[in-house]
Amino acid sequence: MKHQLDNAIKIIKENGYKYTKKREEILLFLIEENRYVGAIEVFDFMNKQYQGISYDTIYRNLRDFTKMDLLEETELMGEKKFRFHCDVSSNHDHSHHHHHFICTSCGWTKEINLCPMDFFSEQLPDCKIESHRFEILGKCQKCLKK
């Protein structure tokens, strides 16, 4: 966890942003949660420690972290959700290609080390695929038991 945080702070500085304790706390929260969370969850957590912090400040930091590729972003039930990027490394190389199962109830996430793009590439031989996004949505075992 410390390694992930240290690398994230380094990337923040490399992108011309200042280190702040609040940014560190946001990142730590996301690292510890290890799931997709909404901005309101991050706001609620931060507001307990920093009374009066604005929702806009939280959301702006989440967007900035996403642009720096520190966070992954998805949309669940019409709401943007964020999670700490699985592959933040010291050289910021996201070479481990994978996808996720995401619980639509709690946001729990599991890596899926399989990509269906080979199939789609075969189906589109005269096209150039520039990007893709693949997520499996459902209920995790814990939420199914509730």
Which tens digits make up the pLDDT trace of 44-99?
A: 999 999 999 999 999 999 999 999 999 999 888 889 999 998 665 444 444 567 78
pTM for the model: 0.76
Q: What is the band of 132 on the pLDDT scale with cuts at 50, 70, 90? A: confident
Mean pLDDT of 16-43: 95
- The domains of the chain are located at 2-84, 99-145
103 annotated as ligand-binding: yes
106 annotated as ligand-binding: yes
Please give the structure tokens belonging to residue 35: 């799931």
127 annotated as ligand-binding: no
115 annotated as ligand-binding: no
Q: Which fold has domain 2-84?
A: Arc Repressor Mutant, subunit A (1.10.10)
CATH 2.60.40.10 fits 99-145, yes or no: no
More confidently predicted of 114 and 66: 66
